[in-house]
């Protein structure tokens, strides 16, 4: 059994491998983000008897690049009454947590490089899940700050909605995962994947269907997707927290939304669907699972109306939270007896 590559046994190789992994993951995520926008427009277009982008390049495939260029060259407007620092900081504060969450997601088993074992994961934190929840919590600061700093009443309402929404849904999301690591007895995502590595029936979606359902729904609320897209509800709040944003700052919000979709999909795949397990090689399995969840999210967007603020709160506190607690009790009983 080859030794695990670490900073102590071969620092140069370790750094090289680490940087390579980070670069590869980053590029893949950015690419998926770009083409997720394309896919969303194409898929929703098809569902709505439209075509989606067709003119930019073959099948409109260059659309994300055109969009990016356009946004890049747009005038960057900072409202005169805005709180400058927070206004500039907010889009970064929402994008960065989205990206760095990917660091703990295992995207494959181990590979052997120059006689050392290298895990296909950027960082195997032993508190991986807590890290993810912390980052998800950080992301909302971006929205709240954006809403507050814009000095616009619609933005402010969007920011407030977002804060309220995240508080109510993070609890239910966190508690639904508790049941998962009660079974796996580890907080490390790698450990959770290992615990599901037996057969397909070992995937937690089968032993924890309730937690799975809760987590998928609460994740939708956390990443502000339809039907829980209240913070930016364009028909109510114009564009919510990003009303005043333009140019690249707006693009950052946009990218963050899709990056969050990827993270959440990857997380669901890791926690409930065995992560990289499957018929193909590890990363491809994970990507397939991620894509299917993203498709689901897009599908939901094409189908559902938006819930109302008070109904969202009601569901969060009076439906999802008790259900998550009940699930923990049941899981606990099963684990003990």
Partner 1 sequence: MAKKETMTINMGPQHPSTHGVLQLVLELDGETVVNAVPHIGFLHRGVEKLAENRSYHRALPLTDRLDYLAPMSNNLGYVLAVEKLLGITDQIPERAKVVRVMMAELTRIKSHLVWLATHALDIGAMTVFLYCFREREDIMDMYEKISGARMTSNYFRVGGLSLDLPEGFEADILKFIDAMPGHLETYEGLLTGNKIWRKRTIGVATISAEDAIDVGLTGPALRASGVDWDLRRDNPYSGYEDYDFEVITRDGCDTFDRYTARLDEMRESCKIIRQAVDKLQPGPIMADVPSVCLPAKQDVTNSIEGLIHHFKIITEGFKPEPGEVYQGIEAPKGELGYYIVSDGSANPFRMKVRPPSFVNLQALPQMIEGKLLADVIAAIGTLDIVLGEIDR
Contacts with partner 1, residue ranges (CB under 8 A): 44, 47-50, 153-154, 157, 160-161, 226-227, 229, 233-238, 301-311
Smallest distance from partner 1 to CB 217, Å: 12
- Per-residue three-class SS string for the chain: CCEECCCCCCHHHHHHHHHHHHHHHHHHHHHHHHHHHHHHHHHHHHHCCCCCCCCCCHHHCCHHHHHHHHHHHCCCCCCCCCCHHHHHHHHHHHHHHHHHHHHHCCCCCEEEECCEEEECCCCCCCCHHHHHHHHHHHHHHHHHHHHHHCCCHHHHHHHHHHHHHHHHHHHHHHHHHHHHHHHHCCCCHHHHHHHCCCCHHHCHHHHCHHHHHHHHHHHHHHCCCCCCCHHHCHHHHCCHHHCCCCHHHHHHHHHHHHHHHHHHHHHHHHHHCCCCCCCCCHHHHHHHHHHHHHHHHHHHHHHCCCCCHHHHHHHHHHHHHHHHHHHHHHHHHHHHC
Smallest distance from partner 1 to CB 47, Å: 6
Smallest distance from partner 1 to CB 304, Å: 6
CA angle 244, 100, 195 (to 5 degrees): 135
Smallest distance from partner 1 to CB 65, Å: 25
Q: 14 or 314: whose CB is closer to partner 1?
A: 314
Q: 279 or 305: whose CB is closer to partner 1?
A: 305
Smallest distance from partner 1 to CB 40, Å: 12
User: Which residues are CB-contacts of 316 (< 8 A; sequence separation ≥ 6)?
Assistant: 165, 168, 169, 171, 172, 218, 221
Q: 154 or 320: whose CB is closer to partner 1?
A: 154
Smallest distance from partner 1 to CB 158, Å: 11
Smallest distance from partner 1 to CB 193, Å: 34
Q: 3 or 234: whose CB is closer to partner 1?
A: 234
Q: 102 or 315: whose CB is closer to partner 1?
A: 315
Q: 292 or 311: whose CB is closer to partner 1?
A: 311
Q: 106 or 240: whose CB is closer to partner 1?
A: 240
Q: Which tokens hold the place of 284?
A: 């491809």
Smallest distance from partner 1 to CB 68, Å: 24
Strand arrangement, sheet containing 3-4: 3-4, 116-119, 110-113
Alpha carbon of residue 223 to chain centroid: 7
Quick one: which of 212, 264, 237, 26 has its CA closest to 122? 26
Q: 10 or 236: whose CB is closer to partner 1?
A: 236
Q: 280 or 304: whose CB is closer to partner 1?
A: 304
Smallest distance from partner 1 to CB 107, Å: 33
């Amino acid at each position: 059994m080859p030794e695990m590559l670490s900073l102590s046994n071969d620092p140069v190789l370790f750094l090289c491998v680490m940087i390579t992994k980070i670069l590869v993951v980053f590029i893949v995520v950015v690419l998926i983000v770009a083409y997720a926008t394309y896919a969303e427009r194409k898929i929703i277009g098809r569902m709505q008897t439209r075509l989606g982008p067709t003119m930019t390049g073959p099948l409109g495939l260059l659309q994300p690049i055109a969009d990016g260029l356009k946004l890049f060259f747009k005038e960057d407007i900072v409202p005169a009454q805005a709180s400058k620092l927070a206004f500039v900081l907010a889009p970064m504060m929402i994008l960065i947590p989205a990206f760095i969450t990917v660091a703990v997601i295992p995207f494959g088993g181990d590979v052997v490089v120059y006689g050392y074992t290298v895990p296909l994961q950027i960082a195997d934190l032993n508190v991986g899940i807590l890290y993810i929840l912390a980052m998800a919590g950080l992301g909302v600061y971006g929205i709240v700050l954006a809403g507050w700093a814009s000095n616009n009443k619609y933005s402010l309402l969007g920011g407030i909605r977002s804060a309220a929404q995240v508080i109510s849904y993070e609890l239910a999301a966190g508690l639904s995962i508790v049941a998962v690591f009660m079974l796996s007895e580890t907080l490390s995502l790698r450990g959770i994947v290992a615990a599901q590595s037996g057969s397909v029936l070992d995937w937690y979606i089968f032993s924890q269907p309730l937690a799975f359902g809760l987590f998928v729904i609460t994740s939708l609320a956390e990443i502000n997707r339809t039907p829980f897209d209240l913070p930016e509800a364009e028909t109510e709040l114009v564009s919510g927290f990003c009303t005043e944003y333009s140019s690249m700052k707006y693009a950052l919000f946009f990218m963050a939304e899709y990056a969050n979709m990827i993270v959440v999909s990857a997380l669901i795949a890791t926690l409930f669907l065995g992560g990289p397990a499957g018929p193909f090689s590890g990363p491809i399995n994970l990507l397939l699972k991620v894509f299917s969840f993203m498709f689901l999210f897009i599908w939901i967007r094409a189908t559902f109306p938006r819930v109302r603020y008070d109904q969202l709160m009601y569901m969060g506190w009076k439906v999802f939270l008790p259900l998550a607690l009940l699930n923990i009790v049941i899981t606990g009983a099963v684990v003990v007896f």
